[in-house]
């Protein structure tokens, strides 16, 4: 997989005059797994949706694979390369198989590709037995696996997982965890959000925290290393020394 990077500079979002966050610089690259923490309402979901091109930022300069592009052309690219997974994944009112093939069908993949990728994904997420079930009637953990498989078949560069582990028992968490590990091993860049910071620390080397509208970098011991807003730069690729 070719290295992929996207940088947001001066990323700003506010709702009705209330500023949710101001981020001087944020770079996201393939192959890294980052934990994004923050209390309820700190704006984690909004930040991820903005990165995924689902929320329009109030301001952003975007550098896509080294080239500076405007928001209009950026988000067309982003929709093909970055996939956002909801806090509670939404299943289309259709079978598990149809849910998994949705993106491929809309993007005009060939029938053979769709079939082989579907079989592969069903096996990958251990969903073979549920293939023809209506996805709306699945359990929370099963829905999460369908959502991961649905993204996996599209080979995204970056996956944004919003609270991927909420509402799940230990078994469900473990299976989701394993799938995310596999995605990481394939070189897909991942950002996970969680308000329980410790839970998935083994998966992620990097930890950033959204606090009072600012993005902070946290080291292994849980201390703030740098205030991104002050240092003016955060690159998620560089190992924190």
Partner 1 sequence: MESISGASVHALQLLFSGNAELWNIIALSFSVSLKAILIAAPVAIVLAFLMAYQRFPGRRLLIYLFNTLLSVPAVVIGLTLYLLFSRSGPMGDLKLLFTQDAMIIGQIILCMPLILIMSHATFQASDRRIWETARTLGASRIQAMLTVMYDIRFGLMAALIAGFGRIVAEVGCSMMIGGNILHHTRNIPTAIALETSKGEFSQGIALGIVLLIMAMTLNVSLSLLQGKGEMI
Ligand X SMILES: Nc1ncnc2c1ncn2[C@@H]1O[C@H](COP(=O)(O)OP(=O)(O)OP(=O)(O)O)[C@@H](O)[C@H]1O
40 interface partner picked from partner 1, ligand X, Mg ion, none, CB below 5 to 8 A per type: ligand X
Which of 11/82 has CB closer to partner 1? 82
Q: Which of these segments, 25-33, 43-51, 132-140, 211-219, binds Mg ion (CB under 5 A)?
A: 43-51
Closest CA to 5 of 53, 85, 67: 67
Which of 48/91 has CB closer to Mg ion? 48
Which of 51/180 has CB closer to ligand X? 51
Closest CA to 41 of 228, 211, 199: 211
Q: Which of these segments, 43-51, 66-74, 201-209, 227-235, binds ligand X (CB under 6 A)?
A: 43-51
The binding track of 76-115 with respect to ligand X, each residue x by CB under 6 A or -, is: -----------x----------------------------
Which of 1/90 has CB closer to Mg ion? 90
**Binding of Mg ion at residue 45 (CB under 5 A)?**
yes
> What residues between 10 and 69 interact with partner 1 by CB under 8 A?
49, 52-54
**Binding of Mg ion at residue 194 (CB under 5 A)?**
no
Find out whether 217 and 226 touch, Cβ atoms under 8 Å. yes
**Binding of ligand X at residue 50 (CB under 6 A)?**
no
Closest CA to 192 of 154, 148, 149, 227: 148
Closest CA to 22 of 215, 241, 221: 215
Q: Which of these segments, 26-34, 44-52, 59-67, 109-117, binds Mg ion (CB under 5 A)?
A: 44-52
Radius of gyration from C-alpha coordinates of the chain: 18
Residues that bind partner 1 (CB under 8 A): 49, 52-54, 79-80, 82-84, 86, 88-90, 92-93, 102-103, 106-107, 150-151, 154
Q: List interacting residues with ligand X (CB under 6 A).
A: 15, 20, 38, 40-46, 87, 195
């Amino acid at each position: 997989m070719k290295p992929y990077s996207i940088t947001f500079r001066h990323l700003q979002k506010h709702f009705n005059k209330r500023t949710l966050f101001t981020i001087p610089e944020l770079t996201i690259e393939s192959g890294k797994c980052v934990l994004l923490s923050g209390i309820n309402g700190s704006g984690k979901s909004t930040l991820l949706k903005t990165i995924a091109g689902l929320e329009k930022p109030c301001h952003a300069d975007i550098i896509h694979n080294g080239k500076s592009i405007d928001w209009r052309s950026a988000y067309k690219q982003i929709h093909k390369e970055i996939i956002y997974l909801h806090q509670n994944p939404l299943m289309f009112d259709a079978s598990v198989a149809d849910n998994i093939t949705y993106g491929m069908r809309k993007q005009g993949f060939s029938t053979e590709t769709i079939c082989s990728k579907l079989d592969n994904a069903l096996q990958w997420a251990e969903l073979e037995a549920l293939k023809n079930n209506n996805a709306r009637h699945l359990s929370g953990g099963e829905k999460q696996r369908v959502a991961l498989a649905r993204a996996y078949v599209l080979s995204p560069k970056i996956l944004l997982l919003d609270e991927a582990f909420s509402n799940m028992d230990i078994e469900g968490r473990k299976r989701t965890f394993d799938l995310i590990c596999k995605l990481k091993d394939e070189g897909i860049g991942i950002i996970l959000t969680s308000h329980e910071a410790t839970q998935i620390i083994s998966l992620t080397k990097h930890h950033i925290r959204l606090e009072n509208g600012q993005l902070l970098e946290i080291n292994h011991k849980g201390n703030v290393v740098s205030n991104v807003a002050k240092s003016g730069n955060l690159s998620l690729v560089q190992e924190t020394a």
